[in-house]
Chains A and B, each alone.
Chain A
Amino acid sequence: MFNISAGYWLRIKGLERKKLQFAILVIIPILLLFLVLRIIPVFGTFYLSLYRWHLIKPDRPFIGLENFSRIMIDKNFRIALFNTTNFTIIVVSISVTLALLLALALEKKTRLGGWYEFAYFLPVVIPMVPVSMIWKWMYDTTYGIINILLKAIGLSPVGWLTEPKIALYSIIIMSIWKVLGYYMVLFLVGLRNIPVEYYEAARIDGAGGWQLFKNITFPLLKRMTLYICVIATIQNYNVFTQVYVMTTGSQAAPMAAVRVLVYEIYQNGFRYFKMGYASAQVVVLFAIVMIISLIYFKVFKIEDD
């Protein structure tokens, strides 16, 4: 950590001080932008959560923690929280595990390795809306390619998006497919940064494949795994686009089965215009993600080098 004392500033002279002034000058607009676009909205959300703030009505009374106490008894919020947590646990655990396995398989550079990496990474670069449209078509009960294949092998078609017990899992499958390549590439970066000498030394000492993974690969991938788990959790608790695209409309899914937190917040904020209540839900979501992230840091226990 930098420890800049008042004396340090006094010791800076001449050209160095000019450089510093210039650095501060160029960084101020960015900081201002960050303040306006990030920091103020975050505090603004906390502020709104304490009011009955309707987007259109001019009367917006202060109601203290009433919005939060309403959340506690809001059945829709509970369903959304359950579905989102379910979604996040499944997507994070499966996608991170699969990504690690794929990265281990593709770590050694082979002739087709690059093609495999490209194939797995391709879904990442396609925007979520077209991907969701494609999967919605693939999941179509009557004309979807998946049901056509099921019928071809003598199985009954499945209501992938229309059957309440299946709909959320259909979106989970698509979401895992979408992010797998990204996590795989991150793991590959981590794996390729592990010095080969460590493995060579361990092999000389008689270590086998599992021991190499347990004692060298995984410990040295801890930082990357922590990073992936944290961003995956944040991303998945914020799941919205695929749910919105794949489940709205007359050919779509039953709402309660796929209700997720951000969709619930969107409904309250931008459909019913209850910005105060929606902000309180955002604060709860923020707290949940923050707590989970802290748990990750505790579990992974990474010491400074």
Chain B
Amino acid sequence: MNKRKLIIIFLALALVFCLVNISVVCAQTQKISVWIGWSQLLPVYEEAAADFKAEMGKDVEVLAFPLREFERKLAVSIPSGNAPDVFVTSEYIIPQYIEAGYVMEPPKEVGEFIKSSFDPITLGINTFNGKIYGVPQIGIARVLYWNKELFKEAGLSNPPKNWEELVGYAKKLTVYDSDGKVVRSGICLRKFGAGSGVTEKFQILLASAGGGILKRTSDEKWCAAYNDEAGRATLKLYIDLIHKYKTDSFDIKQDSEAFALGHTAMFIREFWPIPYFKATAPDLKFGTTLIPGRKDGKSGTVYSTESAFVPKSSKNAEIAWEFIIFFNREKYVRKMFEDIGWPAPRIDLDFSDIYSREEAYAVANERPEGYIYSTYPPIPVADEIWTKLGERLEAAYRDASLVDNLEGIKKVLDEAAIETNNILGESDLY
């Protein structure tokens, strides 16, 4: 084969390559991509995408990734202009993208839909510099799960209403073996597992004591808030439940898995365990309740949301907003709630039939007066603060010397607060 033929073959191949790519790009102009970080939501999104195609004639490609991978993908794709047309993320992830100017404001009609459809708490935590950028999809308050049969067995008929009852009930519900080791915990607290989850669970009980992880000191400045009286009381509660009363253990099954297996009588979580229990432990008799307050009549929990956003780089923004509104139809909202355990904080929809079918969902949209909804602050370093505080809490939870040692507890929280404030300071937020 001579040189000329080789060049002709090479040029022909290059031409085919270019044509294929151009045709792919052209074909994609009427197709939008949606990225989500929760694979359990995928079936509902896919169903909505299929219905959207049938009804509107426009293609939607939905991709789900593991949460951390999803966050990394966003971090790489949004600044480089390769983001999907729609992405669903939480109020503590989005501020950095809004601040950098990557996120589009919704059109007027979408803005009106948001304002008329969601509860004020959800709207409040999704407002950045006076504007709402995304359409909330999910709003989740953390609740206390209690095993009705184990409660009955221990002579208890109702879930605890305050910390005193929480400790007393946990003591009654704990089962030990002949060596005094816990084989069934009265309450399973989140004690370890790398990541911000440890702090989030601490934050729940902290909110029920009237405290918070951070507080604003001015419009743009924050500082650690958990090293106060409420924070010390919360850490003391953990230490007492683990070491003083031995109602929990590091050496048995933890979290929802433990609850499904009957290895714990109480634990705190979102609503996704409800369908999980139905599938894995259909005979489990359980209930959910608001987080017991430190004192009667005053309590709180952690509340977080996931909203759908459109990046400024989207070439199909109109279709993207159209799909977001389409996905907010009652059919999909109900599926997300009942089938997956992800409630939408909608004030324009009636979910009473769902509550009658599954009583445990009834507290999902309860908003008692005076109840504190502790949220993630809209700052980019929230995850780092939560993760690093979590690691310090993990170590503290294992430290039996903190029993009845208020000075020790104070030292743990004060040292952690210095680290938190340093992280804030690095981003000029302190």
In whole Å, how far is A257's beta carbon from the nearest beta carbon of chain B? Answer: 9
Residues of A within 8 A of B381 (CB): 272
Residues of B within 8 A of A255 (CB): 192, 194, 390-391, 394
Residues of A within 8 A of B76 (CB): 55
In whole Å, how far is A289's beta carbon from the nearest beta carbon of chain B? Answer: 24
- Counted as pairs of residues, one from A and one from B, with CB atoms less than 8 Å apart, the total is 83
A271-B253 contact given A56-B78, A56-B79, A254-B192, CB 8 Å threshold: no
Tell me whether A254 and B252 are in contact (CB under 8 A): no
Identify the stretch in A3-11, A243-251, A294-302 within 8 Å (CB) of chain B at 4 or more residues. Answer: A243-251
Residues of B within 8 A of A254 (CB): 192, 394-395, 398
Which of chain B's residues 382-430 have a Cβ closer than 8 Å to chain A?
383-384, 387-388, 390-391, 394-395, 398
Complex: A141 Cα to B72 Cα, angstroms: 32
Tell me whether B257 and A272 are in contact (CB under 8 A): no
Q: Is B195 an interface residue (CB 8 A)?
A: yes
From A156, A249, A252, A254, name the one whose CB has the most chain B CB atoms within 10 angstroms.
A254
Flag B96-116 by CB within 8 Å of A: 1 or 0 each.
110110000000000000000
Q: Is B142 an interface residue (CB 8 A)?
A: no
Complex partner residue of A162 from B72, B179, B250, B257, CB under 8 angstroms: B250
Q: Is A253 an interface residue (CB 8 A)?
A: yes
Q: Is B197 an interface residue (CB 8 A)?
A: yes
Q: Is A29 an interface residue (CB 8 A)?
A: no
Q: Is A177 an interface residue (CB 8 A)?
A: no
Tell me whether B194 and A252 are in contact (CB under 8 A): yes
A159-B384 contact given A56-B75, A253-B192, CB 8 Å threshold: no
Residues of B within 8 A of A271 (CB): 68, 71-72, 383-384, 387
Tell me whether A163 and B253 are in contact (CB under 8 A): no
From A55, A156, A159, A163, name the one whose CB has the most chain B CB atoms within 10 angstroms.
A55
Q: Is A270 an interface residue (CB 8 A)?
A: yes
Interface size on A, residues (CB 8 A): 28
Tell me whether A56 and B255 are in contact (CB under 8 A): no
Complex partner residue of B96 from A57, A76, A141, A142, CB under 8 angstroms: A57
Identity of the chain B residue whose Cβ is nearest the Cβ of A79 in the assembled complex: B391
Residues of B within 8 A of A133 (CB): none
Tell me whether B193 and A249 are in contact (CB under 8 A): yes
Q: Is A273 an interface residue (CB 8 A)?
A: yes
In whole Å, how far is A281's beta carbon from the nearest beta carbon of chain B? Answer: 15
Complex partner residue of A250 from B197, B252, B391, CB under 8 angstroms: B197
Tell me whether A247 and B194 are in contact (CB under 8 A): yes
Tell me whether A250 and B254 are in contact (CB under 8 A): yes
In whole Å, how far is B244's beta carbon from the nearest beta carbon of chain A? Answer: 20
Tell me whether A162 and B251 are in contact (CB under 8 A): yes
In whole Å, how far is B188's beta carbon from the nearest beta carbon of chain A? Answer: 9
Flag B60-81 by CB within 8 Å of A: 1 or 0 each.
0000000010011001101100
Flag B182-209 by CB within 8 Å of A: 1 or 0 each.
0000000010111101000000000000
Complex partner residue of B192 from A56, A57, A141, A162, CB under 8 angstroms: A162
Complex: A247 Cα to B79 Cα, angstroms: 31
Contact surface of B with A, Cβ cutoff 8 Å: 68, 71-72, 75-76, 78-79, 96-97, 99-100, 179, 190, 192-195, 197, 250-257, 263, 380-381, 383-384, 387-388, 390-391, 394-395, 398
Nearest 7 pairs of A and B residues by beta carbon:
A250-B255, A255-B194, A250-B193, A272-B384, A55-B75, A252-B193, A270-B72
Known: A57-B96, A254-B192, A267-B387. 15 other contacts (CB 8 A): A56-B100, A141-B253, A159-B251, A248-B193, A250-B257, A251-B193, A252-B192, A252-B193, A252-B194, A255-B394, A270-B75, A271-B384, A271-B387, A272-B383, A272-B384
Sampled A-B contacts (16; CB under 8 Å): A142-B263, A159-B251, A162-B250, A248-B195, A249-B193, A250-B192, A251-B253, A251-B254, A251-B255, A253-B194, A254-B394, A254-B395, A256-B391, A271-B71, A271-B387, A272-B384
